[in-house]
Structure 1
Amino acid sequence: MSEHTSDEPRTVGATETSFAVIERLRDRSGATVTELAADLGASKSTVHNHLRTLVELGYVVTEGSVYHLGLQFLDLGNAARDRLDLYDVTKQGVDELVSTTDEHGYVMVEEGGRGVYIYQSTTERGVQTDSHIGTTVDLHATAVGKAYLAHLEEPRRSELLENIELRERTPSTYTDRNAFEAELDAVRKQGFAFNDEERFVGMRAVGAPVLGPDDEVLASISVSGPTTRLEGERYRSELPELVTQTARLIGIRASYS
């Protein structure tokens, strides 16, 4: 007999509320009970009960009437990242790439149909966006996402494509499925992907897949910068060569480390 019955709830409301509180604290960089209750459409007493539990568990701390995420989340984040054996080799490769290009660098893996940045390497002259370690991004609107998707083998590629909503992030985002699939075919042939203001207006990126010994996609990497610097020959030729070379080197290191 099955352990679950069809009329059982698929999620636990209290758990959903706790995580909603946690996410609001992240987004707000701290908040009061009143602010959280207004955001969540919940009573102050309900929000306070969840906060009190999280404080007792060490995952939330208080500064006066303001609640913040506790550093205990760092332990969970490191544990989640450490299960990816390729983290150290991608970090080394992307740091070297950023040192050469003087632009921001990223490492992305796919989880649950979304891209997740597991590492970012920054530079002083880089333009800061909302991207950071742990950021989830749409696969269709990023160079790392397109490079990842384009190099997947069937049936995984079709499975992901069927579930991707081609949401418009900017006027340059691919929203037509046929056009997007044609773009992926081109990316697969050339070995790298462009993001030409498709996630943020004024920002471009070049991405390439990190492939394992059997050409399975392990991750993807990219460099990004403002359109004023990523233009012409540098954008169309120099950076793609550097990014693809770095991705290949990371793949070799990951395969034999």
Structure 2
Amino acid sequence: MANNEVSTLKKGLLVLELVKQYQGITLREVMDQLQLSKSTAFRILTTLEEMNYIFKIHTQYFFNYKMFNNHFEKRSEKDWASLHTIYQVAQNLQMSTYLGKVDGTDLVMTQVIHAPFDQSANEEIGNRSKLHQSALGKVILAHLDEELLVPLLNKMSLEPATENTFQDSQLFHYHLKVIRQEGFAFDDEERIVGIRCISVPVFRRKKVIAALAIAAPAEQISRGNLKSIVQKLNMGSETITKEIETIEKTL
């Protein structure tokens, strides 16, 4: 070691760099990767967390990019794409995973992750579809307050994407009520023939702000595994909400 090196500082920077490389890393993984004792790794991670350079969700630590970006705009497209916990959802379900939000009568993709679930499909971010054509759009509509939903529905033309797309406005309104009661939306080849999609809402301060979904060939999603997928998506939605709230506290 060079005479001018500060051992603790160097370890801290190595830990910070390691956390940055991972889409969520545990205390044990930091210990193993850098050959640190449990007490040393814990002290460094705790210090970095207190300084808002990283944040912790459950047992995993994440790099807080917002501390290093002074020109950050809240809820921008870049902000949505920088969320890390969606990777855990994708890896857990082993299916293509999506985040989307409302823009007018459109559903806009803000994050897309395909196998091997370790990087964003940036070329698909920003893709648009009509809200009524997918589970993502339907689950957001279903959880909007009535004063927001009614004028939005009045603007929608319900044009079909496939023969399975809802086109009857009264039936669609009833369908949204069922989705709200069940807490998830199911897209049975309504936007793309051969593809099914399941989506749950993402909340912030008890208001729906986005939707989280998986999509897969129809034969991979059935009534038999629907409940399990919804349960995992709901867990993922809660974790994403916690990540958003954690990031906002550091701004």
TM-score, normalization by structure 1: 0.62
Q: Is the 8 A contact 1:169 1:199 kept in 2?
A: yes
Rounded Cα–Cα distance in structure 2 between residues aligned with 1:174 and 1:162: 15
Match of 1:95 among 77, 87, 95: 87
1:3-58 deviation line (CA, Å, top 9, x unaligned): xxxxxxxxxxxxxxxxxxxxxxxxxxxxxxxxxxxxxxxxxxxxxxxxxxxxxxxx
Q: Which residue of 1 aligns with 2:138?
A: 146
Structure with the greater relative contact order (CA < 8 A, sep ≥ 6): 1 or 2?
A: 2
Query: Judging changes above 3 Å, is the alpha-carbon distance between structure 1 residues 242 and 86 closer, same or farther for their aligned structure 2 residues?
Result: farther
**2:244 equivalent to 1:251:** no
Query: How is 1:1-257 mapped onto 2 (pairs within 5 angstroms)?
Result: 83=76, 87=80, 91-123=83-115, 132-213=124-205, 215-234=206-225, 236-257=226-247
Aligned length: 172
Gaps of 5+ in 1: 1-78, 126-130
The residue matched to 2:146 in structure 1 has which SS?
Answer: coil
CA contact (8 A) 1:81 1:118 kept: no
Is the CA contact (8 Å cut-off) linking 2:135 and 2:213 kept in structure 1?
yes
SS of residue matched to 2:152: helix
1:93 deviates by 2.5
Deviations 1:44-82 (A, max 9, x none): xxxxxxxxxxxxxxxxxxxxxxxxxxxxxxxxxxx8896
Checking the alignment, whether the CA contact within 8 Å between 2:81 and 2:111 is kept in structure 1 is no
> 1:115·1:138 contact (CA, 8 Å) conserved in 2?
yes
Mark the CA change 1:145 to 1:241 in structure 2 (over 3 Å): closer, same or farther: same
Structure 1 residues 159, 132: closer, same or farther in 2, change over 3 A? same
Give me the TM-score of the superposition, normalised by structure 2: 0.63
Q: Percent identity?
A: 24
Q: Any conservation in 2 of the 1:81–1:87 contact (CA below 8 Å)?
A: no
CA distance, structure 1, for counterparts of residue 73 and residue 103 of structure 2: 12
The structural deviation recorded for 1:238 is: 1.1
Q: Secondary structure at the match of 1:228?
A: helix
Q: Structure 1's 102 and 88: CA in aligned 2 closer, same or farther, altered over 3 A?
A: same
Q: Do the aligned residues in 2 keep the contact of 1:192 with 1:240 (CA within 8 Å)? A: yes
Letter in 2 for 1:198: E
In 2 relative to 1, CA 183–80 (structure 1 residues): closer, same or farther, beyond 3 Å?
farther
Q: Aligned partners of 1:107 and 1:224: how far apart in 2?
A: 11
Do the aligned residues in 2 keep the contact of 1:86 with 1:254 (CA within 8 Å)?
no
* Partner Cα distance (1:81, 1:167) in 2: 33
